[in-house]
């Protein structure tokens, strides 16, 4: 009975999203043919979209537009060209690109070849690139010209192709455009296996690990998202979050499945992003939390001149969204904020709707359909509601393991996220911090995220992080690193008194340091190692 109920709910979600709309018989037969050819993979998604909506716009970026038919034709040609230089199914193709059409074309070509797409962080230094390229044995590197120096040092002797360059720029490698122009796209055989997507962990310490995942579970991921976030077919999505990370890529996969137009820009600018939403009439904006902070900090006259009333969803993930920040976002942009909690390894764990965040500030919401979340103590025993435990997730979207070997801890078939948290009485999940971030000061346990969440509510605090530093008497002590809001003043005593008014005395930072800006990764996570 439960299986039937779950199936009906899934069909309902797909219907509400507009995915079950009628299609002409001759097109339906061609779509079925694409599914038979490629299976339930992104390759089939690209081909099906080109059949069902060939003349509709697929991608808008700084170069212009591509229709679904043009994207399909160009990615076929690119797949054929890569095949000609020796790329086969199961081989690894490294992609070091910002958000633009070249990233999408490379992704589609890999899917059609059955090769593995390895997405490289655009902030990599050469030593990190050397390690990752060698570990993953990338056969080809596709990159933006701005990363030429890093790529030449980090990937010598491997075929390289430029996906994006400035007009008139002198290049040392051939371009994707030249590969596509020289290929007729006819010599690629149907792969016998689906290519994998390799997303790298955030890598705030050491060399990032490659988390590999099959691409055949896309429908389960889509249904899970549709059960909590009102994505709709045939609309427009602005993806500002980097697509080489799991959050940006997941939303690109959603847009592909729904046949949405995707709007991309290589560099994030808060006002330009709002202008893109207004100009394209976008219904969805995909961001990481720090991007929303930057939007709120814009000059109000410039920020508010853009009509973004078309937006029905602001989808955010990648790092913590505090209660005060979520309230400020919804007060300004409306009740359209959806906060997803998960990790590269477990995919989605919980989704908070606007109602969840209003009712329980700081929550990351509830597990979406098909996902189970349980909390365990250090002895692997379940913890009671309201108590803190290690967060474990079960779904059909867990990763297959790290490419270099190893995986995450598993209990009862559920996989660790690496975080600790608690459930409230209404079943909403709260993330208290990383399980390895806990600070023990004078015998008391403190999670920095709790103190950070309080300080984000101070009107003079624009940004903040809290970390532990060595202390002879207490073992560790708390240090708050604060960015003051422009035009305001703040001193250390005010910061301490504010925390003291909300939390226990032992959670009050003993040190307060003021900086102009916090060092962050591309997804907004603070690089705490740079602040010690």
So where are the chain's domains? Answer: 2-280, 320-434, 439-531
The 3-class SS string of 334-371 reads: CCCEEEEEEECCCEEEEEECHHHHHHCCCCCEECCCCC
Tell me what pLDDT residue 13 has: 42
CATH architecture of residue range(s) 439-531: 2-Layer Sandwich (3.30)
Tell me what pLDDT residue 205 has: 44
- Is the confidence at residue 277, as pLDDT, over 80? yes
Residue 361 exposure: Cα atoms within 13 Å on the Cβ side: 14
Tell me what pLDDT residue 407 has: 81
User: Which of the two residues, 36 and 454, has the higher pLDDT score?
Assistant: 454
* Distance from C-alpha of 498 to C-alpha of 429, rounded to nearest angstrom: 26
Distances (CA, A) of 236 to 229, 312, 314, 509: 15, 11, 12, 44
User: Which of the two residues, 31 and 508, has the higher pLDDT score?
Assistant: 508
Tell me what pLDDT residue 418 has: 87
Tell me what pLDDT residue 256 has: 87
- Is the confidence at residue 11, as pLDDT, over 50? no
Q: Quick one: average pLDDT of 502-506? A: 84
- Is the confidence at residue 4, as pLDDT, over 80? no
Tell me what pLDDT residue 109 has: 93
The 3-class SS string of 397-422 reads: CCCCCECCCCCCCEECCEEEEEEEEE
User: Which of the two residues, 267 and 449, has the higher pLDDT score?
Assistant: 267
The mean predicted confidence, pLDDT, of the chain is 86
Chain centre to alpha carbon of residue 320: 13
Distances (CA, A) of 290 to 64, 70, 256, 293, 325: 27, 34, 26, 5, 10
Q: Which of 487, 524, 525 is nearest to 292 (CA)?
A: 524
Tokens of 151: 């790529």
Q: How many residues does the chain have?
A: 532
* Distance from C-alpha of 336 to C-alpha of 315, rounded to nearest angstrom: 8
* Helix (H/G/I), strand (E/B), else coil: 17: coil
Tell me what pLDDT residue 214 has: 64
In this structure, of 185-189, 385-389, 432-436, 463-467, the range with the lowest mean pLDDT score is 185-189
Tell me what pLDDT residue 62 has: 96
What pLDDT, in 10s, does the model give residues 124-143? 888 888 888 989 999 999 99
Q: In what order do the strands lie in the sheet with 511-514?
A: 461-471, 475-484, 511-514
Which distant-in-sequence residues (6+ apart) come within 8 Å of 105 by Cβ?
71, 74, 75, 78, 163, 176, 180
pLDDT band at 32 (very low <50, low <70, confident <90, very high): low
User: Dihedrals φ, ψ of 114, to 5°?
Assistant: 75, 20
* Distance from C-alpha of 481 to C-alpha of 470, rounded to nearest angstrom: 15
Radius of gyration of the chain (CA): 23
* Distance from C-alpha of 348 to C-alpha of 360, rounded to nearest angstrom: 20
Assess if CATH 3.40.50.970 describes domain 2-280.
no
Tokens of 29: 């037969």
Percent residues over pLDDT 90 in the chain: 53
Q: Is residue 333 classed exposed, middle or buried when 0-12, 13-18 and 19+ CB atoms within 10 A define those classes?
A: middle
Q: Quick one: average pLDDT of 439-454? A: 81
* Distance from C-alpha of 353 to C-alpha of 373, rounded to nearest angstrom: 17
Tell me what pLDDT residue 190 has: 74
Tell me what pLDDT residue 37 has: 58
What pLDDT, in 10s, does the model give residues 332-376? 999 999 999 988 888 889 999 999 999 999 999 999 988 999 999
**Containing H/E element for 236?**
strand 236-239
- In this structure, the number of other CB atoms found within 10 A of the CB of residue 437 comes to 18
What pLDDT, in 10s, does the model give residues 386-408? 899 999 999 877 777 787 777 88
DSSP state of 195: P
Record the pTM. 0.84
**Containing H/E element for 10?**
helix 2-16
CATH class, range 320-434: mainly beta
CB contact at 8 A, 419 and 431: yes
Tell me what pLDDT residue 430 has: 94
Indicate left, alpha or beta for 270 from its phi (over 0: left) and psi (-120 to 50: alpha): alpha
User: Which of the two residues, 468 and 142, has the higher pLDDT score?
Assistant: 142
Tell me what pLDDT residue 531 has: 75
- In this structure, the number of other CB atoms found within 10 A of the CB of residue 280 comes to 16
DSSP string, 243-270: TTSHHHHHHHHHHHHHT-EEE--SS--H
Tell me what pLDDT residue 3 has: 45
- Is the confidence at residue 41, as pLDDT, over 70? no
User: Which of the two residues, 435 and 273, has the higher pLDDT score?
Assistant: 273
Which distant-in-sequence residues (6+ apart) come within 8 Å of 532 by Cβ?
467, 469
Per-range mean pLDDT, top range of 39-43, 171-175, 216-220: 171-175
Tell me what pLDDT residue 291 has: 92
- In this structure, the number of other CB atoms found within 10 A of the CB of residue 482 comes to 24
Percent residues over pLDDT 70 in the chain: 88
**Containing H/E element for 518?**
none
CB contact at 8 A, 120 and 244: yes
* Helix (H/G/I), strand (E/B), else coil: 133: helix
What pLDDT, in 10s, does the model give residues 373-391? 999 998 999 999 989 999 9
- In this structure, the number of other CB atoms found within 10 A of the CB of residue 206 comes to 9
């Amino acid at each position: 009975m439960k299986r039937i109920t779950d199936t009906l709910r899934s069909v309902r979600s797909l219907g509400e999203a507009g995915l079950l709309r009628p299609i002409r018989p001759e097109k339906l037969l061609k779509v079925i043919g694409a599914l038979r050819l490629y299976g339930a993979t992104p390759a089939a998604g690209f081909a099906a979209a080109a059949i069902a909506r060939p003349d509709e716009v697929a991608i808008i970026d700084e170069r212009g537009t591509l229709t679904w038919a043009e994207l399909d034709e160009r990615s076929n040609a690119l797949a054929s060209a890569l095949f000609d230089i020796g790329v086969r199914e199961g081989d690894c193709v490294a992609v070091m690109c910002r958000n633009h059409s070249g990233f999408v074309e490379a992704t589609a070509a890999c899917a059609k070849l059955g090769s593995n797409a390895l997405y490289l962080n655009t902030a990599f230094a050469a030593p990190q690139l050397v390690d990752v390229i060698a570990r993953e044995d990338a056969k080809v590197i596709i990159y933006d010209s701005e990363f030429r120096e890093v790529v030449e040092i980090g990937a010598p002797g491997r075929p390289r192709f430029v996906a994006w360059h400035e007009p008139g720029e002198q290049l040392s490698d051939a371009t994707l455009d030249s590969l596509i122009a020289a290929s007729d796209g006819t010599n690629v055989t149907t792969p016998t296996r689906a290519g994998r997507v390799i997303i790298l962990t955030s890598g705030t310490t050491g060399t990032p690990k490659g988390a590999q995942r099959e691409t055949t579970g896309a429908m389960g991921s889509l249904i899970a998202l549709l059960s909590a976030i009102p994505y709709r077919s045939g609309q427009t999505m602005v993806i500002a979050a980097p697509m080489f990370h799991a959050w940006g890529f997941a939303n690109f996969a959603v847009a592909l499945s729904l046949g949405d137009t995707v709007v991309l820009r290589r560099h994030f600018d808060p006002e330009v992003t709002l202008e893109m939403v207004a100009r394209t009439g976008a219904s969805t904006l995909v961001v990481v939390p720090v991007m929303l902070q930057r939007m709120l900090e814009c000059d109000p006259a410039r920020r508010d001149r853009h009509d973004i009333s078309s937006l029905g969803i602001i989808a955010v993930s990648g790092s913590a969204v505090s209660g005060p920040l979520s309230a400020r976002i919804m007060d300004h942009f409306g009740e359209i904020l959806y906060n997803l909690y998960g990790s590269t390894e477990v995919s989605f764990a919980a989704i908070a709707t606007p109602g969840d965040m209003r009712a329980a500030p700081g929550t990351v919401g509830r597990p979406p359909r098909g996902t189970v979340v349980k909390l365990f103590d250090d002895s692997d025993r379940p913890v009671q509601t309201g108590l803190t435990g290690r967060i474990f997730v079960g779904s059909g979207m867990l990763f297959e393991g790290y490419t270099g070997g190893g995986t995450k801890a598993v209990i009862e078939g559920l996989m660790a996220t690496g975080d600790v948290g608690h459930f409230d009485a209404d079943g909403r999940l709260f993330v208290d911090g990383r399980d390895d971030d806990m600070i023990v000061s004078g015998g008391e346990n403190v999670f920095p995220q709790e103190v950070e969440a309080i300080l984000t509510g101070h009107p003079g605090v624009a940004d903040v992080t809290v970390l532990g530093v060595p202390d002879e008497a207490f073992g560790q002590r708390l240090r708050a690193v604060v960015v003051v809001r422009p035009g305001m003043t703040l001193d250390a005593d005010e910061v301490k008194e504010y925390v003291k008014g909300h939390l226990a005395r032992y959670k009050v930072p003993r040190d307060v340091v003021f900086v102009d800006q916090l060092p962050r990764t591309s997804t907004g996570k603070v690089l705490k190692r740079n602040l010690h």
